[in-house]
Amino acid sequence: MRPTGRLHLGHLVGALSQWIAFARDNETFYEVADLHALTTSYERTTDLAANVREVVLGWLATGVDPTRSTLYVQSHVPQISELHLLLSMLVPVAWLQRVPTFKDQINALGPEIATYGFLGYPLLQLVDVAVMRGDTVPVGKDQLSHLELGREVVRRFNNTYGRVLIEPQATLSQFPDVPGLDGRKMSKSYGNTIDLADDAATTTKKVRTMVTDPLKIRRHDPGRPEVCPVYALHHIADPALVPMVAEGCRSGALGCVDCKGQLAERLNAYLQPVRERRTELEAIDVDGILADGAQRAREVASATLADVKRAMRV
């Protein structure tokens, strides 16, 4: 996960809920991807260290347990960068250029992010997984193309040098695409997030600004809940309320203002335990947790890198 600021609702239901579940029965590695953060914010690094801490506190507040999982910072495992360099020799530029998110992100964020590092972003993602011998990766739908590219790279490497790397499989969460305030995917890059650390008043204010069905102009107009991001978030905040919201929207009995009010109330109740836990964790030794995790991660990464270099004879 990139340390680009405070975690938001999309992180919680799109990734962290799976992370916690995986750790119950599997060996799990969770990385603060600080090198990835440079791909879209290379000129803004003042808050990078603080953001790393913020991400880890967010993980811990949602239930990620450092005694059951390995938590570490990407740049603290230099083997990742070396393996990225070695695998970059195998990857055609055309493979990277055809990844859908490459052009989508340039269109959304501007041509200035189209750097060499940004082009190679999906390969670095693969290395994050491959270096830890990862066989399963929780991803959002927008990242499936990245993982498929990574699987192609693994196949090319193994066909060329022998079976060394594991071809990772994807697993999607129950809510792989969480809509933001503007209807697009919830993302810090788009400025459309409901942050886990927001207080109740801020959450309510944000929900009131959310876009809704553009054809439901007046209160009693019948709506189309399937196209409304407010309705989508009701599935997260309180699934039991969803049938009533859908019926009220379609019939025109439920206006958008009231619908947003109900969502804000239930979102705040849903997020309250996380917010309380986050406050309690302010004094925790995040640096110590990450140092322990980095040591473990380097041990695994060193073994993988040695196998790769042996196979490539370098």
Task: Phi first, then psi: give them for residue 30, nearest 5 degrees.
Answer: -125, 120
pLDDT digits (tens, 9 = 90+) for 208-257: 999 999 999 998 999 999 999 999 999 999 999 999 999 999 999 999 99
Q: Say if residue 127's pLDDT is above 80.
A: yes
**pTM (2 d.p.):** 0.89
Torsion over CA of 253, 258, 259 and 261, rounded to 10 degrees? -160
Torsion over CA of 10, 64, 62 and 235, rounded to 10 degrees? 50
Give the model's pLDDT for residue 41.
84
Please calculate the CA angle 228-234-237 and round it to the nearest 5 degrees: 150
Domain ranges of the chain: 9-178+284-312, 188-278
List the structure tokens of 269: 């109740």
Give the pLDDT mean for 54-61: 96
Give the model's pLDDT for residue 145.
87
| Average pLDDT of the chain to the nearest whole number | 94
pLDDT digits (tens, 9 = 90+) for 89-118: 999 999 999 988 888 888 888 888 889 999
Fold of 9-178+284-312: Rossmann fold (3.40.50)
Say what percent of the chain tops pLDDT 70: 100
Please tell me the distance from the alpha carbon of residue 160 to that of residue 229, in angstroms, as a whole number. 46
Whether 9-178+284-312 and 188-278 share one fold: the answer is no
Q: Say if residue 176's pLDDT is above 80.
A: no
CATH of 188-278 given 1.10.240.10, 3.30.420.40, 3.30.70.1450, 3.40.640.10: 1.10.240.10
